[in-house]
Amino acid sequence: MPMKMLVLVPKVSGRVMYVFDLMLRQLLGIDFDLTTDAESFMAFDGPKLHYGQQRIGDEPFVKAVELLFERHINEQSFRTVDFEGTVAPYAVYGQGNLMPFDVFAASFFLVSRYEEYLSQVRDQYGRFRAEATWMHENGMLQKPLVNIWSIALGKRFKEIYPELVIKHNKFTFVPTYDIDAAWAYKHKGLYRTVGGFFKDLAAGDRENLLERHLVLRGKRKDPFDSFDFQFDLQKEFKLKPIYFILCGDYDTNDKNISIRKTAFQSLIKTLGDYADVGIHPSFSSYLDIERMRIEIERLSEVLHRPVTKSRQHFLRMNLPRSYH
Give per-residue pLDDT as tens, 44-79. 999 999 999 999 888 999 999 999 999 999 999 999
Higher pLDDT, 126 or 32: 32
| DSSP sequence for 251-289 | BTTB----TT-HHHHHHHHHHHHHSEEEE---GGGTT-H
CA distance 220 to 205: 18
Give CA separation, 87 vs 141, 194, 215, 285, in Å. Answer: 11, 57, 54, 37
pLDDT at 1: 64
Omega cis (within 30) before 175:
no
Amino acid residing at 115: E
Return the pLDDT at 277: 98
Query: Which one, of 138, 231, 218, lies nearest residue 177 by Cα?
Result: 231
| For the chain, domain boundaries | 4-160, 176-184+223-315
Least confident of 1-15, 129-143, 157-171, 190-204: 190-204
Sign, CA dihedral 140-145-151-153, equals positive
Q: Is the dihedral of CA 310, 314, 319, 321 positive or negative?
A: negative
140 against 210, higher pLDDT: 140
**Helix, strand, coil % over all residues of the chain, rounded to 5:** 40, 15, 45
Contacts of 24 (CB under 8 A, 6+ apart): 5, 7, 30, 31, 32
**Full-model pTM:** 0.89
**Tens of pLDDT, residues 291-307:** 999 999 999 999 999 99
- At 11 the pLDDT is 96
Please state the rounded mean pLDDT for residues 157-163.
Answer: 96
176-184+223-315 homologous superfamily: Glycoside hydrolase/deacetylase (3.20.20.370)
pLDDT score recorded for residue 191: 74
What's the CA gap between 231 and 248, in Å, rounded? 25
Is the separation of the CB atoms in 135 and 141 below 8 Å? yes
Which phi and psi angles does 83 have, rounded to 5°? -145, 110
Angular region, 229: left φ>0, alpha ψ -120 to 50, beta rest: alpha
* Other Cβ atoms closer than 10 A to 42: 13
DSSP 8-state symbol, 314: G
Report the distance separating Cα 277 and Cα 243, nearest Å: 5
